[in-house]
Structure 1
Amino acid sequence: MKSSVSRLVISLLCILLFQQASSQSVYKNEFAHTFSIVARDATTGDMAVGVQSHWFSVGTSVSWGQSGVGVVATQSFTNPAYGQNGIQLMKEGQNADEALKVLVAQDEGRDFRQVAFLDTNGKASAFTGEKCIASAHHMVGDNFAVQANMMLNDEVVPAMAKAFEENSELPLAERVVKVLLAAQAAGGDIRGKQSAAILVVGAKAVEHPWEDKKVDLRVDDHSKPLQELGRLLEVHRAYEYMNQGDLAVERNDMDAALVAYGTAENLFPDNLEMKYWKAIALANNNRLKESLPIFKIVFEKDTNWRELTKRLPKSGLLNLTSAELLMVLEQ
């Protein structure tokens, strides 16, 4: 009973704060006309928000999410209260449609808003206000909603829905990027392009807040923001493999570590750091001979890595004899 009362109090507080935020002049809200997607991976349960706009740092205002709860995209004349309060209402057990309807009903600026919610069950809901600048539409499907306003034409939103449905074999983040690229190819924002972002959270609640975001990438100002977002996502994947390699080393599974490190290098071949730590892992695991050619490549590109190597033994990160260390430094 006490828990139910507490949830009711929190819900009423959210609504009160939302009404206060919504009662301000809509023209004081951030101007984020854009196209976006909220989506869920039916296999993993991960949830994502992807967005692009001709506006600076669009990801900081449009994208909201929490693992084990749901995701929100709030755009047009953006009201950030939809993000925070929408997440709270879904956390308390309301589905995406119920939560969105509650907040739209309380919003005096609703005619200028475009908002989409998606919950952990894959239920999506979207709203496009009557005064959103044309072309403004949304579509809701199984595990996704796509929405756009101030577009060049009416083809953008259908192209986004089609791209989501046709790329089901991809990981969620890469699938979302495909959707955004399809939107741009269909015409995109009538003003052009400037920034983009992608946020991915997990299916289950996490113990610590810092574990909440699986992917959190933003391109705040770029002539080709989606291409840059795709590049950053590839770098993100490369570092995921580096982390997998490090974990394999901790388990003393060097074969698995080398596979992971190799995959990372293939994704990001010009990155010296990935080569360097692979060499360190080999050297620390009695495979010094294999590490030496890698050290040589890294040191020839940047001598600072040689200087760093001298400092690692004191920190316990490189376990070699003096003679072995000298062999590395002579590369």
Structure 2
Amino acid sequence: MTFSLTARCRRTGQLGVVVTSSSMAVAARCAFARAEVGAVATQNVTDPRLGPKGLDFLAAGMPAQAAMNALLATQAHPDFRQLALVDDQGATAWHSGPRALGRVAVALGEGCVAAGNLLADEAVPAALVRAFEESADQPLGERLLRALEAGLAAGGEEGPVHSAGLVVAAEQAWPWADLRVDWHDEPDGAIPALRRLWDAWSPQADSYVTRALDPTAAPSFGVPGDR
């Protein structure tokens, strides 16, 4: 029910996940990232506990594959799970259990791993990776969005996608970006809606960090009553 890309930006060290699904509120359950630690996507028959657990293993100093092995060792039902993980050095690991739904595929790239289930075409994850690698000069969030758009253009899921989300972790404890379209009635409308959110958010994201760290240096919100 899902396809995703989990990645690290080599230039900035930012970490993130982008994901879409025919199910509601996919990013709330599937996308996890922590600054200077790593990123995890947990999908198929989703267990959201695996995102924070995977990040905790990475934070303890485990490299990607060791963290994945430890994560799977905690699982009573690994056959149902599809997982992707990237550590703070850009190493990746993945797992796709034999009971993952429908057409399943995984693709690896530099600092990224794409995975999907119930896919219309096995080439979808490779399309995500290709778009990510071809946009290496762009910010991580933009690269993730381009990857998601490429996955949809390559066929996407068997059915229409209705939710999508993106999380990017930078230097702070909170996400630099955490954007979600939890449900879009128009078939495949969630990804264009996420694009609109990203285009609106990205120019002002750094200002919100400044407001948190040093309000005296923060720019105006530019809203009525803000003096």
- TM-score (normalised: structure 2): 0.89
Deviations 1:157-209 (A, max 9, x none): 1111111111111110010000001111111111211000000002x5x4xx4
Task: Classify 1:178/1:111 alpha carbon distance in 2 versus 1 (closer, same or farther; 3 Å).
Answer: same
Q: Whose strand proportion is higher, 1 or 2? A: 2
Whole-angstrom distance in 2 between the partners of 1:66 and 1:241: 17
Q: What residue is the counterpart of 1:75 in the other structure?
A: 43
- For the pair 1:103 / 2:52, whether they are aligned, the reply is no
Equivalent residue number for residue 168 of structure 1: 136
CA deviation after TM superposition for structure 1 residue 64, in Å: 1.1
The answer as to 2:23 corresponding to 1:55 is yes
Secondary structure at the counterpart of residue 52 of structure 2? helix
Whether the 8 Å CA contact 2:7–2:15 is kept in 1: the answer is yes
User: Within 2, Cα distance between the matches of 1:242 and 1:101?
Assistant: 39
Distance 2:205 2:149 in 1: 24
Is residue 177–residue 205 contact of structure 2 (8 Å, CA) maintained in 1? no
Indicate conservation of the 8 Å contact 2:119/2:158, yes or no: yes
Question: Which residues in structure 2 correspond to 1:283-322 (within 5 Å)?
Answer: 305=224, 308=225, 317=227
Contact 2:2 2:22 in 1 (8 A): yes
Name the aligned partner's letter for residue 200 of structure 2. Answer: V
**Cα distance, 1:135 vs structure 2:** 1.3
Asked if structure 2 preserves the Cα contact closer than 8 Å seen for 1:201 and 1:213, the reply is yes
Relative to structure 1, the CA distance from residue 117 to residue 241 in structure 2 (aligned partners, 3 Å threshold; closer, same or farther) is closer
CA deviations over 1:84-104 (Å, ceiling 9, x no partner): 211111111101110111222
Deviates more, 1:192-201 or 1:155-164: 155-164
Question: Out of 187, 202, 211, which is 1:237 matched to?
Answer: 202
What is the aligned partner in structure 1 of residue 191 from structure 2?
226
The answer to whether residue 105 in structure 2 is matched with residue 151 in structure 1 is no
Indicate the SS of the match to 1:78.
coil
Distance, in Å, in 1 between the alignment partners of 2:178 and 2:107 is 24
Following superposition, the deviation at residue 76 of structure 1 comes to 0.2
CA offsets, 1:125-176, max 9 Å, x none? 1111112123101122221000000011112111111111111111100100
- Provide Cα deviations, 1:273-328, integer angstroms capped at 9, x if missing partner: 74xx5xxxxxxxxxxxxxxxxxxxxxxxxxxx5xx4xxx7xxxx3xxxxxxxxxxx
Gaps of at least 5 residues in structure 1 are: 1-32, 252-256, 262-272, 278-304, 318-331
Q: Which residue identity does 1:110 align to in structure 2?
A: P
Q: 1:227 to 1:68 in 2, by over 3 A?
A: same
Superposition map of 1:118-133 within 5 A: 118-133=86-101
Q: Hey, what does 1:92 align to over in structure 2?
A: 60
Give the match for residue 115 of structure 1: 83
Gaps of 5+ in 2: none
| Structure having the higher Rg | 1
Identity of aligned residues (%): 29
CA RMSD in angstroms, aligned pairs only: 2.5
Number of aligned residue pairs: give it.
223
Equivalent pair of 2:8/2:14 in contact (CA under 8 Å): yes
Asked which structure has the greater RCO (Cα within 8 Å, sep 6+), the reply is 2
1:213 aligns with one of 175, 186, 189: 175
Cα 1:115–1:194 shift into 2, 3 Å? same
Distance of aligned partners of 1:83 and 1:133 in 2 relative to their CA distance in 1, 3 Å threshold: same
- Separation (CA, whole Å) in 2 of partners of 1:122 and 1:217: 23
Letter of the aligned partner of 1:234 in structure 2?
D
- Given that 2:120 and 2:155 are in contact with CA atoms closer than 8 Å, whether structure 1 keeps it comes out as yes
Structure 2 counterparts to residues 265-284 of structure 1, below 5 A: 274=222
Q: Equivalent residue for 1:28?
A: none
Among 155, 174, 183, the alignment partner of 1:187 is 155
Q: Secondary structure at the match of 1:101?
A: helix
Normalising by structure 1, what TM-score? Answer: 0.62
Instruction: Say whether the 8 Å CA contact 1:126–1:140 is kept in structure 2.
Output: no
